[in-house]
Amino acid sequence: MLKKINNLIPKNIIKLNINKSLIYQEIRILIKRLYLQTYRRPFSFIINIIQPLLWLLLFGALFQNAPISLFETYNIQYRDFLNPGIIIFTGFNSAINTGLPIIFDREFGFFNRILVSPLINKSSLIYSCIIHGWIITHIQILIIIVFNIYQTGKILTIRQFLINIFVNTLIIVNISGFSICNAFILPGHIEFIALTTLFINLPTLFTSTALAPLSFMPNWLQIISCINPLTYAIEIIRKSNLEKNFSINTLIMNIFWLNINVKNGIFLLFLLNLLSFVIIMNIVKYKYD
Cα four-point dihedral sign 215, 216, 219, 220: negative
pLDDT tier at 2 (50, 70, 90 boundaries)? very low
pLDDT digits (tens, 9 = 90+) for 97-121: 888 888 887 777 777 777 666 666 7
User: Span 156-178, mean pLDDT?
Assistant: 85
pLDDT tier at 72 (50, 70, 90 boundaries)? low
Say what the pLDDT of residue 282 is.
77
User: Span 253-260, mean pLDDT?
Assistant: 74
- Say if residue 258's pLDDT is above 80: no
Residue spans per domain, the chain = 43-288
Say what the pLDDT of residue 81 is.
81
- The candidate with the shortest Cα–Cα distance to 283, out of 89, 102, 60, 104, is 102
Q: Give how far Cα 28 sits from Cα of 24, 102, 113, 116, 280, Å.
A: 6, 16, 18, 18, 21
- Say if residue 78's pLDDT is above 80: no
Among 43-52, 58-67, 207-216, 217-226, the least confident range: 58-67
| Contacts of 25 by beta carbon, 8 Å cutoff, 6+ apart | none
Please give the mean pLDDT across all residues of the chain. 78
Q: Which residue has the higher pLDDT, 52 or 16?
A: 52
DSSP string, 197-264: IIIIIHHHHHTTTSSS-GGGS-HHHHHHHHH-HHHHHHHHHHHHHH-TT--TT-EEEEETTEEEEHHH
Q: Which residue has the higher pLDDT, 56 or 14?
A: 56
